[in-house]
Amino acid sequence: MNMDIAVIRGDGIGPEIVNEAIKVLDAVCEKYGHSINYEHILMGGCSIDATGEPLTDDAVKIAKSKDAVLLGSIGGNTQTSPWYKLPPNLRPEAGLLKIRKELGLFANLRPAYLYPELKDACPLKEEVASKGFDMMMMRELTGGLYFGERYTKEIDGVLTAVDTLTYSENEIRRIAIKGFDIAMKRRKKVTLVDKANVLDSSRLWRKVVDEVAKDYPEVEYGVMLVDNCAMQLVKDPAQFDVVLTENMFGDILSDEASMITGSIGMLPSASLNETKFGLYEPSGGSAPDIAGKNIANPLATILSAAMMLRYTFDLDKEADAIEKAVKTVLEEGYRTIDIAKPGEPQVKCDEMGSLVAQRV
């Protein structure tokens, strides 16, 4: 197969971790007889420096012409970077919001899996971690508070900020169908997370998802309030399979889920539209404090590349090979600094990428 993807190395550790994912993808191509054309585009702080914009229309046009996008990370230190002295619509993260909207990436998938080899890195109690967990955080990505009308102005002499939370039943229905379809390929369980005891938007979510659930009688379906879910993720994460939720709740809960795996550097993600097109990125940020030190964990980006092969190109065998290679490397005791126990030997970012590539 010939694959055509856009690559956004981005800021901070982004270039380092993307390089290792490309190294692994090239190893897959060599073994299985595929080819990949990589076209690099700018987004985030590097784009601001080069063009004055976090994401240009030309970059969006290129991304739309590809089969998929592989993204590293964007942004910098919000306290010291000059990027954060710019208006909000010109900051690095505005590029991420723009590309999600322009490409119609409404479904964000973040698998959270505790590797048995990393059980000691899990911050949960041993009796909880020993049960393991394997969940898919399913977050709606193009609606809600992050895309609603917002403003700050003086009202009756008092500075007042307003953020608008809006969802339509169509937006909810399409992500719910995606969630149940994915559950059918997993353990056939969906948990809707909302705040239906307070929010009208959550009550609409519950109404629409209840309707969708009737079309999937084989799937066990339940609902949970977001505050309870936050507690249950650290009390008993093994109970979850597919966690379906709206944009802001998903943003927060998926980061919580990432940390109980031992490191956010282990979590891949996929953002999909209504076709096979997807944007694939690690769940972590740009980590500017360690950028350029060759100590970042590239495994989340490598696993994101595996998700790309699986969801966009239907290359399940090749995706399995990457995931198995990551597991093998961990079983052999190789660790980057973020997942290493005190006194345990550590490998650099590029070394970890090479180890995985060799075992594909």
Please give the positions annotated as active site.
146, 195, 227, 251, 255
CA pair distance 349, 257, nearest whole angstrom = 23
3-state SS of the chain: helix, strand, coil percent to 5?
45, 20, 35
Residue from 224, 177, 228 nearest 202 by CA:
224
Is the CB of residue 347 less than 8 Å from the CB of residue 335? yes
Q: 130-162 in b/e burial notation, b at 16+ Cβ within 10 A? A: eeebebbbbbbbbbbbbbeeeeeeeeeeeeeee
Phi, psi of 297 (to 5 degrees): -90, 115
177 class by beta-carbon count within 10 Å (0-12 exposed, 13-18 middle, 19+ buried): middle
Pair of tokens at residue 57: 């229309």
Pair of tokens at residue 53: 């914009």
Residue from 322, 288, 354 nearest 14 by CA:
288
Is the CB of residue 173 less than 8 Å from the CB of residue 212? yes
Pair of tokens at residue 298: 């590239």
CA pair distance 194, 203, nearest whole angstrom = 8
DSSP annotation string for 44-105: SHHHHHHHSSSS-HHHHHHHHTSSEEEEEE----TTT-GGGGS-GGGSHHHHHHHHHHHTT-
